[in-house]
Amino acid sequence: MYFKKLFPIFFFVISISVSAQDVGIKTKIYGFVRNDFFYNSRKSEESTDGVFNFFPKPIELSSETDKNAIPQAELISVNTRIGLDISGSELFGAKSSARIETDFAGTGTTFFLLRLRLAYMKLNWSKTELTIGQDWHPLFGSVAPNVLSLNGGAPFQPFNRSPQIKFRYLANNSLSVIASALYETQFASQGPNNATSTYMKNAMIPELFLGAEVKSIHWTSGVGVDVKTIKPDVKKLTSFTAAAYSQFTDKNLQLKAKVTLGQNTTDLGMIGGYGVSKYATDSITVLAYTNLNTLNSWFNVVYGSKIQLGLLVGYSQNLGAEKEFDYRKGLKLTAYGCGFYDSGQQLIDRLIRISPQISYNLQNLKFGLELDYSSAVFGNIQRDGRVSSPYNVDNKRVVATMSYLF
């Protein structure tokens, strides 16, 4: 049944590819068929039916039993991906190109749904590049961990694809400046109505990014600053995020690292968020919000070609709130974000991940095995955005993957 539904889509893509050649447009189909098996020693925060893993869940007692202390395992194929690269004629004195990319990880009553990953066009002049459409967030950037897991290093690494207008200017052979205006869609901020792009729509202000990057034969390094405004209710909240990164690559060696200091970074797949810093006397009307500050960092080393060995080490730390939270009626704090659990008033304080991997790479086939030890510290949220009575939970995860690339 699913094949009958998907066949017209594949036929349409192939038809475009064939007919495009007749008008001078070059196309290339790419992608992979991928199967993932994973095992978790503990329930974790996840998406895409568990193949996208964040961190272990806190202790939640039911009849004196921790309902999250349950191991899980699954075999899943939704990460299978197909894309189309398009290069066309010269427009406005620039080389033109486009990319469309999809996979089967769309959410719904079943996970066998196509979703839009990338859809953008580019114009390239000698020193400038203009990108319009859905692309990776600039904070994801050109330096990201080389890991087997679908999460790409999240929640330590920013993970987000958004509609945007991005401008890159090449100042010289090594230095480039990047500016971008973005809006939220699939990766959205948290709030009173869960995660939705409506909060940014209501604010009427796009997210803005400005960064600089230096490249040489072996090195890529850069910095960037991002400002985002949302309007969850009648009041707006503005958040700032800064990142610095560096990468060394040689024939068989990759060394990468990134540090992100952020506010309300839940749309980036990171811990943190925001909360209410002031209620009206009715204890219902919100008068002001405050950001939760977080520090996120990772280091990644990969060695080899046909046989690759790798290691990811990640660390995230909750740094507390900008302003103190206000108590709602019933002495309860109101917060929204990744790592906050309202029912128990629990908040994640810090997170550590150590993840070694090995892969065997052939021309069209890839086998991989990744071990993931993640340890999270939770506690009771306080008015300053920190925690009291901290305790630790951990998850031991195994991921085995096989991909056929084309």
**DSSP codes, 273-307:** EEEEEEE-TTSSSEEEEEEEEEEEEEEEEEEESSE
DSSP 94: B
CA distances from 252 to 110, 140, 293, 305, 365 (A): 40, 23, 37, 6, 19
Q: What is the pLDDT of residues 260-276, one digit of tens each?
A: 999 999 999 999 999 99
DSSP 192: T
- For residues 380, 232, 259 and 310, what is the CA-based torsion angle, rounded to 10 degrees? 80
Q: Of 25, 22, 78, which is closest to residue 47 (Cα–Cα)?
A: 78
pLDDT at 289: 97
Verdict on whether the full-model pTM lies above 0.85: yes
> Does residue 186 surpass a pLDDT of 70?
yes
pLDDT at 22: 52
**Average pLDDT taken over every residue of the chain:** 93
Give mean pLDDT, residues 238-262.
Answer: 97
Q: How confident is the model at residue 110 (pLDDT cuts 50, 70, 90)?
A: low
Percentage of the chain modeled with pLDDT above 70: 93
Cα 44 to its chain centre, rounded Å, is 17
Q: How confident is the model at residue 111 (pLDDT cuts 50, 70, 90)?
A: low
- Domain that includes residue 400, residue range: 2-405
Give mean pLDDT, residues 243-260.
Answer: 97
Q: Please, what's the b/e burial string for 240-272 (b: 16 or more CB within 10 A of its CB; e: otherwise)?
A: ebebebbbebeeeebbbbbbbbbbbbbbbbbbb
Q: Of 270, 249, 247, 251, which is closest to residue 260 (Cα–Cα)?
A: 270
Give mean pLDDT, residues 80-101.
Answer: 95
Percentage of the chain modeled with pLDDT above 90: 85
Distance CA 37, CA 147 (A): 15
CATH code for the domain of 43: 2.40.160.10
Residue owning tokens 């600053």: 225
pLDDT at 20: 52
Q: How confident is the model at residue 2 (pLDDT cuts 50, 70, 90)?
A: very low
What's the number of domains the chain is made of? 1
For 9, phi then psi, to 5°, come to -70, -45
Query: Which residues in 18-114 belong to E strands, given as ranges?
Result: 26-40, 44-47, 52-56, 61-62, 65-66, 72-76, 81-87, 95-103
> Does residue 60 surpass a pLDDT of 90?
yes
> Does residue 105 surpass a pLDDT of 90?
no
Q: What is the pLDDT of residues 64-89, one digit of tens each?
A: 899 999 999 999 998 999 999 999 98
Residue 40 three-state SS: strand
Between 310 and 8, the higher pLDDT residue? 310
